[in-house]
Amino acid sequence: MLESKIPSGPIEQKWEKSRFDMKLVNPANRRKHSVIIVGSGLAGAAAAASLGQQGYQVHCFSFHDSPRRAHSIAAQGGINAAKNYRNDGDSIFRLFYDTVKGGDFRAREANVYRLAQISVNIIDQCVAQGVPFAREYGGLLDTRSFGGVQVSRTFYARGQTGQQLLLGAYQALEEQVGCGSVMMHTRSEMLDLVVVNGRARGIITRDLVTGAIESHCADVVVLATGGYSNVFYLSTNAKASNTSAIWRAHRRGALFGNPCFTQIHPTCIPVSNENQSKLTLMSESLRNDGRVWVPKKKGDNRPPGQIPEDERDYYLERRYPSFGNLVPRDVASRNAKEVCDEGRGVGPGGQGVYLDFADAIQRLGEAVVREKYGNLFDMYEEITGENAYKVPMRIFPAVHYTMGGLWVDYQLMSTIPGLFVAGEANFSDHGANRLGASALMQGLADGYFILPYTLPNYIASSSLEKVDTSHPAFAAARVDVNKRVAKLVGIKGKRTVDSIHRELGKMMWENCGMARSAASLESNLERIPALREEFWNNVNIIGTGEEYNQSLEKAGRVADFLELAELICVDALQRAESCGGHFRVESQTPDGEAKRDDEHFSYASAWEWKGEGAQWELHKEPLAFEYVHLTQRSYK
Amino acid sequence: MKLTLKVWRQQDAKSAGKFVTYKVQNVTPDMSFLEMLDLLNENLQNQGQAPIAFEHDCREGICGSCGFLINGVAHGGHRGTTVCQLSMRFFKDGDSLTLEPWRAKAFPVLRDLAVDRSAFDRIIQAGGYITAPTGGAPDANAILVPKDSAERAFDAAACIGCGACVAACPNAAAMLFTAAKITHLNSLPQGQPQRDQRTLDMVAAMSEEVFGSCTNHGECEAVCPKKIPIEFIGRMNRDLIHATLHHRGK
């Protein structure tokens, strides 16, 4: 069932060889072929613009009012590229190596190598579009370094790199909309995938203003709908980010890859009140100069300034003398959780640790610290009301990114022929842990440089029958969608959608968050179906399906999270090893570090939906490491 | 703390709207303004009433989805802040606040505090881009960009497209929004080939969308969450004059 379709030959030549082997569509024939792209973030907008330029009829869908709102916009730090402009030893092979190792050996080597190769073209493309990257005085591009690597390969646009890259793709997309090659469908949410004779041929959408349920047919469907961190309710994702598009496709037959691989970012602003709606990330770059500590004594409530030096525990520096505060994200997060579990956390509820800049300010002066991190200190003050130049910041880990997603082959096609998946929505390149500044790189690689080759190849090599929205498969899917909407608005129970979502999130965070055990996962597997039951019997959605109804939108998404949550726990339970962001307490070294088990778990899991009430079936894609040798990561 | 909110309620674009007064209790200073509205919406739904529709997404001030008037001021008047990042510690117990949607003919109300800002996308479609089809770009360092041009381009490109500038302008002009994109692209060497046509086309698109014109009130700059300066409107007008004369000479 799982054919990864990795081309043969040496890894450096795989992508070039497969590009040559791919079939092409004559420019004059492209107008006859249509493409549906769901999502308009980096991957979706880049693909829509590029395929529009080639001459296909492209239909791009977004539930936002404009494609420019996609959550790619919130990425702060930067984008990696193996340009070696710094002459500091970077290369395509090194970026490939860092990414495979950083992902704790759970990604496909061939995909990662291609990503590193394409990274250099992405920067060229974005500069040509006018993305205002940071510059040196001579006019050349500036770069900086990021966590987990030893070269300076991260290109950036102040702290708003995601925004600027997205606007570049958005503008290219709008240019195509203006000249008629792309039709943009905004405020339009995909509620189902239509499969005709085994091939993805369309989608069913709901117009979020009028509530109209509509059918759209095409030769090929692309999902570029982002990640599912919001299954945890509190995350750094935007409020509307959801799993519904990929989940609906999963239910129609697309296998779900590595659902339990979620990334928890160590430096976020802690939860401050019970009505909190989302978490805010503070860039990882802060750990270059900030020192992380907690009091040595449990329950020490003194203000930080009154805790003398010898009563503080700089636990990262103590445990990891060679990497200190710059250990990778998963390690930093786990350690913060441990000290808080010991009762040494700081701030309200004891769920926080200090990130202290006092030493840096003394060493460099406040002006230098302000120049480097001023906007982050301002943002921190805006939210917490505290001045981090005077008192240490309080930080705590938060869910940030999901490495898992729909399983795809080397061509980015899912197990449903004609259904392609790009960006965070697929499972492909980051293994069990994503390195900083690699998400933007992957989204744009998929959209600008991979799909524009692999999609035409699919179109040219498949004999696609003539299908339109009058086909019975569309009618059947519309009936399903209408029934579901009617069912949701008809429940009229006692609880709001948010209250159930919060309960789910708490369960996932506590039992399937930074540390997971067989017992905690089994407890979730009992409680999640019960909560789902509660949702379908007791949720209250005011209003109807035929109007602008934000509660109904949320309800559909939470209903899907309630199913996905179960699969995440099932996957986490079967993977009885620790790797990257997935920490199973049963699998650790004597000194408490994550312990991988390559003998039994060197595979990507891909789960098949078997119908409501039935158990998923696990398929395994074995992972072979020919170029990067398997090692246990150590940061001591 | 307790607050009294007078909120604009409107079922859809065709219906008439009206203000409805609500009391919100148990507001804490560490909430954001939108979390305060979430709390009100939870209470409304528990009482069987429709929640207030408002747009929002990232809740960190970058996506540009959110925005409404608080006591007549776009985003609430706390400099450089969107409503999603506006903290309740700036309000006090007993405050009475009026919330209404952006008011502009080009931004029809969809429901309650949510408006249709698709006119902005159409202005971008008219010329807010650099034509650079995927694949043909030269090496990134082959294009030198002076640091000050890059900085100015970035300052302009920081616009989040929220529409506060239009809502604050007595003429409902979209000049700051349009000028920001023109300044971004016209400041860069890559943007020069299309400079004149871009300026002419975007300004024409802006007029077609029934936005007004600038009469130098400066309200737009005052409410802009990204502090985009009104100086860019001057740059746009300069480029427009240049492009018009150049065009006429052809």
Mutate to test the interface with B, among A209, A542, A551 (most CBs of B within 10 A): A542
The answer to whether the Cβ–Cβ distance between A132 and B184 falls below 8 Å is yes
Please list every residue in chain A whose beta carbon sits closer than 8 Å to the beta carbon of residue B141. Answer: 83, 85, 140-141
The answer to whether the Cβ–Cβ distance between A136 and B31 falls below 8 Å is no
The yes-or-no answer on residue A329 being catalytic is: yes
The answer to whether the Cβ–Cβ distance between B146 and A135 falls below 8 Å is yes
Mutate to test the interface with B, among A42, A58, A66 (most CBs of B within 10 A): A66
Which value, to the nearest 10 degrees, does the dihedral of the CA atoms of residues A330, A331, A336, A337 take? Answer: 60
Pair (A378, A416) in one structural domain:
no
Q: Which residues pair with B193 in a beta bridge?
A: none
The answer to whether the Cβ–Cβ distance between B150 and A134 falls below 8 Å is yes
- Minimum distance, in Å, between the CA of residue A237 and any CA atom of chain B: 7
Task: Evaluate whether A2 touches A415 at the Cβ level (below 8 Å).
Answer: yes
Of B12, B55, B147, the CB nearest to A547: B12
The mean pLDDT value for A368-389 works out to 88
Quote the tokens at residue A203: 């989608």
The pLDDT tens digits for A318-371 are: 999 988 888 888 889 999 999 999 999 999 889 999 999 999 999 999 998 887
Please list every residue in chain B whose beta carbon sits closer than 8 Å to the beta carbon of residue A547. Answer: 11-12, 111
In a domain, A305, yes or no: yes
Percent of chain B at pLDDT above 90? 97
Q: Which of A329, A434, A478, A516 is catalytic?
A: A329
Length of chain A: 636
The mean pLDDT value for B184-213 works out to 97
pLDDT at residue number A382: 87
The pLDDT tens digits for A404-428 are: 999 999 999 999 999 999 999 999 8
Please list every residue in chain A whose beta carbon sits closer than 8 Å to the beta carbon of residue B110. Answer: 209, 548
Q: Searching chain B, which residue's CA lies closest to the CA of residue A553?
A: B53
Give the rounded distance of the alpha carbon of A528 from its chain centre: 23
pLDDT at residue number B250: 61
The answer to whether the Cβ–Cβ distance between B87 and A167 falls below 8 Å is no
Q: Which of A162-166, A375-379, A385-389, A503-507 has the lowest mean pLDDT?
A: A375-379
- Minimum distance, in Å, between the CA of residue B133 and any CA atom of chain A: 7
Task: Evaluate whether B243 touches B187 at the Cβ level (below 8 Å).
Answer: no
Q: Which residues pair with B97 in a beta bridge?
A: B5
Please list every residue in chain A whose beta carbon sits closer than 8 Å to the beta carbon of residue B134. Answer: 46, 49-50, 53, 125, 172, 448-449, 452
The pLDDT tens digits for B102-127 are: 999 999 999 999 999 999 999 999 99
Interface ipTM: 0.98
Quote the tokens at residue A459: 């179109």
The answer to whether the Cβ–Cβ distance between A136 and B147 falls below 8 Å is yes
In a domain, A129, yes or no: yes
CA-based nearest residue to A618, from A549, A564, A567, A558: A567
Please list every residue in chain B whose beta carbon sits closer than 8 Å to the beta carbon of residue A125. Answer: 132, 134-135, 137
Quote the tokens at residue B121: 């996308």
The DSSP-derived string for A122-164 is HHHHHHHHT----B-TTSPBPEE--TT-SS--EE-STT-HHHH
Which value, to the nearest 10 degrees, does the dihedral of the CA atoms of residues A395, A426, A216, A165 take? Answer: 60
Pair (A249, A139) in one structural domain:
yes
The answer to whether the Cβ–Cβ distance between B124 and A171 falls below 8 Å is yes
- Between chain A and chain B, the number of residue pairs with CB atoms below 8 A apart is 210
CATH architecture of the domain with residue range B3-111: Roll (3.10)
Pairwise CA distance, residues A85 & A123, whole Å = 12
Residue A148 has pLDDT above 70, yes or no: no
Task: Evaluate whether A427 touches A137 at the Cβ level (below 8 Å).
Answer: no
Please list every residue in chain B whose beta carbon sits closer than 8 Å to the beta carbon of residue A178. Answer: 125-126
| Residue A341: Cβ within 10 Å count | 12
Percent of chain A at pLDDT above 70? 100
In a domain, A473, yes or no: no
The answer to whether the Cβ–Cβ distance between A186 and B118 falls below 8 Å is yes
| Residue B209: Cβ within 10 Å count | 19
The pLDDT tens digits for A463-480 are: 999 999 999 999 999 999
Pairwise CA distance, residues A459 & B248, whole Å = 47
Mutate to test the interface with A, among B58, B107, B115, B143 (most CBs of A within 10 A): B58
Pair (A151, A242) in one structural domain:
yes
Pairwise CA distance, residues B113 & B67, whole Å = 8
Pairwise CA distance, residues A582 & A621, whole Å = 18
Of A136, A174, A186, the CB nearest to B124: A174
Task: Evaluate whether A168 touches A126 at the Cβ level (below 8 Å).
Answer: yes
Per the structure, the count of domains in chain A is 3
- Minimum distance, in Å, between the CA of residue B229 and any CA atom of chain A: 18
Pair (A116, A248) in one structural domain:
yes
Q: Searching chain B, which residue's CA lies closest to the CA of residue A53?
A: B133
Choosing among 3.40.50.2300, 3.30.565.10, 1.10.3720.10, 1.10.1060.10, the CATH entry for B118-249 is 1.10.1060.10
Pairwise CA distance, residues A430 & A620, whole Å = 17
The pLDDT tens digits for A12-70 are: 999 999 999 999 999 999 999 999 999 999 999 999 999 999 999 999 999 999 999 99
Pair (A370, A411) in one structural domain:
no
Pair (A251, A281) in one structural domain:
no
Of A209, A272, A382, the CB nearest to B110: A209
Residue owning tokens 């608080």: B70
Please list every residue in chain B whose beta carbon sits closer than 8 Å to the beta carbon of residue A543. Answer: 50
The answer to whether the Cβ–Cβ distance between A125 and B135 falls below 8 Å is yes
Handedness of CA A503, A504, A506, A507 (dihedral sign): positive
Pair (A34, A95) in one structural domain:
yes
Cα angle for residues B102, B106, B112 (degrees, 5° grid)? 35
Of A64, A499, A548, the CB nearest to B53: A548
Please list every residue in chain B whose beta carbon sits closer than 8 Å to the beta carbon of residue A87. Answer: none
- Residue A133 backbone dihedrals phi, psi, to 5 degrees: -65, 160
> So where are chain B's domains?
3-111, 118-249
Pair (A174, A202) in one structural domain:
yes
Quote the tokens at residue B129: 């881009």
Pair (A385, A416) in one structural domain:
no
Task: Evaluate whether B55 touches B65 at the Cβ level (below 8 Å).
Answer: yes
pLDDT at residue number B249: 61
Pairwise CA distance, residues A219 & A293, whole Å = 56
The answer to whether the Cβ–Cβ distance between B87 and A385 falls below 8 Å is yes
- Minimum distance, in Å, between the CA of residue B193 and any CA atom of chain A: 12
In a domain, A563, yes or no: yes
Helix, strand, coil content of chain A in percent (nearest 5): 45, 15, 40
Quote the tokens at residue A188: 């339009």
CA-based nearest residue to A34, from A466, A553, A591: A466
Sheet with A220-223: list strands edge to edge.
A182-185, A57-61, A34-38, A220-223, A419-421
In a domain, A550, yes or no: yes
The mean pLDDT value for A525-530 works out to 98
Quote the tokens at residue A198: 């085994």
Mutate to test the interface with A, among B35, B36, B57 (most CBs of A within 10 A): B57
Task: Evaluate whether A633 touches A104 at the Cβ level (below 8 Å).
Answer: yes
Of A121, A132, A136, the CB nearest to B157: A132
Residue A372 has pLDDT above 90, yes or no: no
Mutate to test the interface with B, among A548, A553, A557 (most CBs of B within 10 A): A548
Q: Which of A122-126, A326-330, A453-457, A553-557 has the lowest mean pLDDT?
A: A326-330
Pair (A56, A183) in one structural domain:
yes
What is the domain range of residue A372?
Answer: 265-398
The answer to whether the Cβ–Cβ distance between B64 and A69 falls below 8 Å is yes
pLDDT bracket for residue A283 (50, 70, 90)? confident
> Is A172 exposed, middle or buried (CB count within 10 Å of its CB: 0-12, 13-18, 19+)?
buried
Q: Which residues pair with A182 in a beta bridge?
A: A58
Q: Are strands A34-38 and A57-61 parallel, antiparallel or unpaired?
A: parallel
Quote the tokens at residue B239: 């480029």
Task: Evaluate whether A90 touches B78 at the Cβ level (below 8 Å).
Answer: no
Pair (A162, A194) in one structural domain:
yes
Of B35, B46, B154, the CB nearest to A496: B46
In a domain, A627, yes or no: no
Please list every residue in chain B whose beta carbon sits closer than 8 Å to the beta carbon of residue A234. Answer: none
The pLDDT tens digits for A579-633 are: 999 999 999 998 888 899 999 999 999 999 999 999 999 999 999 999 999 988 7
Please list every residue in chain A whose beta carbon sits closer than 8 Å to the beta carbon of residue B45. Answer: 496, 540, 542, 551
Pair (A248, A341) in one structural domain:
no
Residue owning tokens 């860069």: B188
In a domain, A6, yes or no: no
- Residue A532 backbone dihedrals phi, psi, to 5 degrees: -65, -45
